[in-house]
């Protein structure tokens, strides 16, 4: 409970004493702390890097006086509800047992909803079941919504009331059988204070997604027929009009539908993304003609991210994006001014508004740097000061910065420019260093300049860490993503090797002291490197990696639209067998550490377990050629501190044996 007490102290300070609340945890104001000279590097411990975030993804209530956040309690993540301006008895911790905590959202100032999930055995097969629970602010009441009628998927909240009433719209299945009407989700209005429900939109065959406007009118549905790979768009202008099909698309011909991100106050207008200019840009969208209008905003060379609605829910306040680092473009002039003031106040650190009250006057701001995990602050704009809430990682609170991070760009062997994140060990010359190549998971994902506990740990140990955004990564536009098609384990793997060659040519890395490590797809890449390019890497480390693409697709058959998923996978890897490391165990020519969580619901533990079995059968010696570690309580996301700690300890020992720094 020490962590909760630490959070409590920060929150209590906000309500009690403004002079204390203005300071950072190290005793300096945010501005002064940013400009202070770096302190002498302290003696950190491996355990410091394994620590879970003290606070993660805090969200303010509409009035800005309460927050809900994920907090680390005794090495386990739990949901905490806190009243910002009140005393020490106003913090509630919600334990969820074996359930996953997937998301949380305020409905009004008294109630919030929580997305939870768990694996259950259905007809002899493991299925992932999702639900929504409503919880009142005091933690005294809670309801599992659609408890007695929901089937597999029941956590799609498509609307939350803007008027303070406790109403949401929930889209959910009532059957697991595709030949029954209830397989396709219906939409119910739910009173979260009682759990009472009434149907607003009945199930429509093959319609799997529903969309509502700010007033709570379900305006649009997206349908998909997996067998024919055809999609359809249903639309109505108001609640009294029947839905009609207004557009169709054939996925086999790469056709797609434009789905609005936000419905405007004008019932004929919406806002949508489109990549007609090579990246996901934001456009006006005419709902009468289904045509795109003026481009609203773009970030040349990069795809845009999520939109931020204004307080009405029918206009844009901002749009997020990631260039080399995360950013926001604010359309709201008042928030843009606040952002500019924050940027000025924190100096060379970065200030990100992560949540706000409905009137945008009370904010939670994350102040950090890629070499510093940073802290969350509560900012009431009427007072003009930022009040400390919680450090992200309490082990580094108020201490010196860690290893510097920057974006570099290199050319792949075919001339494609690739961005990569380079982290260099602090205090060491960047000359002929041992290096860890750290490809990201996904693979449709990307790395960028941000605090990364894994990369920072390795740099602290003395390694240069390079994280390439190989072809097929997200965020760099359509053409770059498409260059990954058909290239799993092939050109995508070449991009990783080319990153090593760049680092060696720059004099940063010692060619004879390079290892590769990664999780999920990054774990696959590490396996593939050990099998395909063992002469380039002294060792490989795979966490929750995929070894058998065909087996992964057999597992995915249990999910909705698995045929489309298989089509996509066939585009990425036309020949599963040819690029699956499990089929080439005898070719592994560099030592590999395989680690996997038994409770991983994204990549089944068999992917690593069977890889280890194949290595043994191929005559590889356990303890010399490979090490297999199965973590009985671990999931795919390092949700428990004990699993993070064991992973870092095992990786640390493995690297000392095979590529000491």
Residue range 197-207, pLDDT digits in tens: 999 999 999 99
What are 437-492's pLDDT values in tens digits? 999 999 999 999 999 999 999 999 999 999 999 999 999 999 999 999 999 999 99
The burial of 227, by beta-carbon neighbours within 10 Å (0-12 exposed, 13-18 middle, 19 or more buried), is given as exposed
* Shared domain check, 451 and 337: no
Per-residue CA distances from 64 to 109, 232, 405, 630 (Å): 8, 40, 34, 43
Give the pLDDT band of residue 31 (cuts 50, 70, 90): very low
pLDDT at 85: 73
- Helix axis angle, 549-556 relative to 606-617, nearest 10°? 150
Q: Are 593 and 654 in contact (CB under 8 A)?
A: yes
What are 609-640's pLDDT values in tens digits? 999 999 999 999 999 999 999 999 999 999 99
* Shared domain check, 279 and 208: yes
The more confidently predicted of residues 463 and 6 is 463
Give the pLDDT band of residue 128 (cuts 50, 70, 90): confident
* Highest averaged pLDDT of the listed ranges 26-40, 106-120, 219-233: 106-120
Show Cβ contacts of residue 124 under 8 Å, excluding neighbours closer than 6 positions.
none
* Shared domain check, 409 and 327: no
């009468």: which residue's tokens?
288
* Shared domain check, 652 and 547: yes
Give the pLDDT band of residue 344 (cuts 50, 70, 90): very high
As a dihedral over the C-alpha atoms of residue 209, residue 214, residue 216, residue 218, rounded to 10 degrees, the angle is -40
Closest C-alpha among 145, 44, 161, 143 to residue 402: 44
pLDDT at 29: 45
Closest C-alpha among 322, 328, 306, 293 to residue 262: 306
End-to-end CA distance of the chain: 37
Give the pLDDT band of residue 280 (cuts 50, 70, 90): very high
Whether 181 has a pLDDT exceeding 60, the answer reads: yes
What are 281-331's pLDDT values in tens digits? 999 999 999 899 999 999 999 999 999 999 999 999 999 999 999 999 999
* Shared domain check, 425 and 334: no
pLDDT at 23: 40
Tell me how far apart the alpha carbons of residues 66 and 5 are, in angstroms, rounded to a whole number.
17
Closest C-alpha among 505, 471, 501, 506 to residue 489: 471
Q: Of all residues in the chain, what percent are helix, strand and coil, respectively (each to 5)?
A: 25, 35, 40
* The domain boundary residue, chosen from 344, 379, 396: 396
Residues 231-260, mean pLDDT to the nearest whole number: 90
Per-residue CA distances from 524 to 39, 492, 531, 549, 579 (Å): 39, 12, 11, 10, 10
Whether 24 has a pLDDT exceeding 60, the answer reads: no
pLDDT at 17: 23
Question: What is the side-by-side strand order in the sheet with 326-330?
Answer: 304-309, 316-322, 326-330
* Shared domain check, 348 and 233: yes
Beta bridge partners of 516: 437, 540
* Shared domain check, 159 and 57: yes
Beta bridge partners of 291: 286
pLDDT at 21: 31
The burial of 505, by beta-carbon neighbours within 10 Å (0-12 exposed, 13-18 middle, 19 or more buried), is given as exposed
One-character DSSP codes across 307-347: EEE-TTSSSEEEEEEESSSEEEEE-SHHHHHHHHHHHHHTT
SS (H, E, C) 48-59: HHHCCCCEEEEE
Whether 37 has a pLDDT exceeding 70, the answer reads: no
- Report the 10 Å Cβ neighbour count for 439: 32
Find the CATH number of the domain harbouring 21.
Answer: 2.130.10.120
pLDDT-wise least confident of 420-424, 433-437, 555-559: 555-559
pTM of the model: 0.90
What are 57-80's pLDDT values in tens digits? 999 999 999 999 999 888 888 999
pLDDT at 581: 97
Give the pLDDT band of residue 2 (cuts 50, 70, 90): very low
Beta bridge partners of 79: 70, 94
* Shared domain check, 207 and 79: yes
pLDDT at 453: 97
Q: Whole-number mean pLDDT of the chain?
A: 89
Find the CATH number of the domain harbouring 524.
Answer: 3.40.50.1820
Whether 147 has a pLDDT exceeding 80, the answer reads: yes
Show Cβ contacts of residue 491 under 8 Å, excluding neighbours closer than 6 positions.
412, 414, 471, 483, 484
The more confidently predicted of residues 228 and 216 is 216
Whether 34 has a pLDDT exceeding 50, the answer reads: no
Count CA within 13 A, CB hemisphere, residue 227: 2
Q: Are 230 and 249 in contact (CB under 8 A)?
A: yes
* Shared domain check, 235 and 370: yes
Number of separate domains in the chain: 2
User: How far does CA 384 lie from the centroid of its chain?
Assistant: 31
Beta strand residue intervals within 42-110, DSSP E: 55-60, 66-73, 76-83, 91-94, 100-106
Tell me how far apart the alpha carbons of residues 539 and 597 are, in angstroms, rounded to a whole number.
21
Residues 344-362, mean pLDDT to the nearest whole number: 94
Whether 38 has a pLDDT exceeding 50, the answer reads: no
Tell me how far apart the alpha carbons of residues 645 and 651 are, in angstroms, rounded to a whole number.
10
pLDDT at 565: 63
Reduce the DSSP state of residue 460 to 3 states and report it. Answer: helix
Tell me how far apart the alpha carbons of residues 661 and 657 are, in angstroms, rounded to a whole number.
10
pLDDT at 120: 86
Angle at 391 between CA 388 and CA 392, to 5 degrees: 135
* The domain boundary residue, chosen from 396, 419, 443: 396
Closest C-alpha among 149, 161, 148, 154 to residue 192: 161
Q: Which domain holds residue 462?
A: 405-658
Tell me how far apart the alpha carbons of residues 104 and 528 are, in angstroms, rounded to a whole number.
37
Here the tokens at position 471 are 């072809």
* Shared domain check, 495 and 365: no
* Shared domain check, 417 and 387: no
Count CA within 13 A, CB hemisphere, residue 304: 24
The more confidently predicted of residues 335 and 562 is 335
What are 526-576's pLDDT values in tens digits? 999 999 999 999 999 999 999 999 988 876 555 555 555 666 677 778 799
Reduce the DSSP state of residue 404 to 3 states and report it. Answer: coil
* Shared domain check, 487 and 566: yes
pLDDT at 563: 54
* The domain boundary residue, chosen from 362, 396, 430: 396
Give the pLDDT band of residue 398 (cuts 50, 70, 90): low
Question: What is the side-by-side strand order in the sheet with 269-274?
Answer: 262-263, 269-274, 281-286, 291-297
User: How far does CA 434 lie from the centroid of its chain?
Assistant: 29
pLDDT at 359: 92
């Amino acid at each position: 409970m020490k962590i909760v007490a630490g959070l409590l102290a920060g929150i209590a300070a906000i309500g009690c004493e403004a002079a204390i609340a203005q300071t950072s945890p190290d005793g300096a104001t945010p501005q002064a702390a940013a400009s202070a000279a770096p302190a002498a590097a302290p003696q950190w411990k491996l355990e410091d890097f394994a620590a879970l975030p003290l606070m993660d993804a805090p969200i303010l209530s509409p009035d800005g006086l309460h927050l809900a956040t994920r907090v680390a309690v005794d090495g386990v993540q739990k949901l905490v509800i806190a009243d910002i301006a009140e005393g020490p008895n106003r913090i509630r911790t919600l334990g969820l047992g074996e359930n996953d905590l997937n998301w949380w959202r305020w409905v009004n100032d008294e109630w919030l909803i929580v997305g939870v999930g768990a694996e259950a055995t259905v007809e002899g097969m493991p299925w992932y079941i999702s639900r929504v629970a409503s919880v009142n602010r005091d933690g005294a009441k809670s309801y599992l919504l659609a408890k007695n009628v929901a089937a597999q998927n029941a956590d799609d909240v498509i609307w939350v009331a803007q008027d303070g009433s406790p109403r949401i719209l929930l889209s959910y299945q009532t059957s697991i059988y595709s030949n029954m009407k209830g397989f396709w989700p219906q939409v119910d209005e739910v009173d979260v204070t009682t759990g009472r429900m009434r149907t607003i939109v009945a199930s429509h065959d093959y319609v799997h997604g529903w969309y509502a406007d700010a007033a709570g009118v379900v305006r649009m549905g997206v349908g998909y027929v997996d067998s024919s790979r055809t999609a359809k768009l249903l639309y109505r202008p108001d609640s009294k009009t029947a839905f009609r099909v207004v557009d169709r698309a054939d996925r086999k011909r790469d056709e797609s539908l434009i789905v609005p991100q936000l419905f405007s106050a004008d019932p004929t207008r919406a806002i949508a993304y489109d990549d007609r200019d090579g990246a996901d840009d934001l456009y006006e969208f005419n709902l009468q003609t289904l045509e795109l209008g003026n481009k609203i905003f773009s970030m040349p060379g990069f795809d845009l991210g999520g939109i931020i609605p204004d307080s009405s829910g029918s206009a844009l306040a901002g749009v997020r994006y990631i260039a080399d680092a995360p950013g926001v473009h604010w359309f709201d002039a008042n928030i843009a001014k606040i952002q500019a003031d924050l940027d000025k106040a924190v100096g060379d650190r970065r200030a990100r508004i992560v949540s706000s009250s409905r009137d945008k006057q009370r904010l939670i701001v994350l102040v950090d740097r890629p070499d510093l995990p940073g802290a969350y602050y509560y900012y009431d704009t009427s007072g003009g000061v930022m009040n400390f809430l919680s450090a992200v990682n309490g082990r580094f609170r108020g201490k010196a910065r860690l290893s510097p991070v920057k974006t570099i760009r290199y050319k792949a062997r075919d001339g494609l420019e690739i961005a990569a994140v380079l982290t260099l060990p602090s205090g060491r010359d960047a000359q002929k260093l041992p290096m860890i190549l750290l490809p990201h998971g996904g693979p449709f994902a990307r790395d960028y300049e941000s605090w990364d506990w894994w990369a920072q740990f390795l740099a602290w140990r003395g390694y240069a860490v390079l994280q390439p955004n190989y072809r097929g990564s997200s965020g760099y536009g359509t053409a770059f993503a498409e260059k990954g098609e058909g290239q799993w384990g092939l050109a995508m793997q070449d991009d990783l090797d080319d990153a090593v060659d760049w680092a060696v040519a720059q004099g940063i890395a010692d060619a004879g002291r390079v290892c590769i490590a990664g999780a999920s797809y990054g774990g696959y890449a590490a396996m593939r490197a050990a099998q395909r390019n063992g002469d380039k890497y002294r060792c490989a480390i795979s966490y929750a990696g995929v070894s058998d693409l065909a087996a992964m697709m057999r597992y995915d058959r249990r999910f909705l639209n698995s045929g489309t998923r298989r089509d996509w996978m066939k585009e990425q890897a036309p020949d599963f067998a040819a690029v699956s490391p499990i089929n080439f165990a005898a070719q592994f020519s560099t030592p590999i550490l395989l680690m996997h969580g038994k409770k991983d619901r994204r990549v089944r533990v068999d992917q690593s377990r069977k890889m280890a079995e194949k290595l043994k059968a191929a005559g590889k010696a356990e303890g010399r050629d490979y090490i297999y570690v199965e973590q009985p309580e671990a999931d795919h996301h390092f949700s428990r501190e004990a699993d993070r700690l064991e992973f870092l300890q095992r990786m640390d020992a493995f690297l000392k044996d095979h590529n000491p720094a």
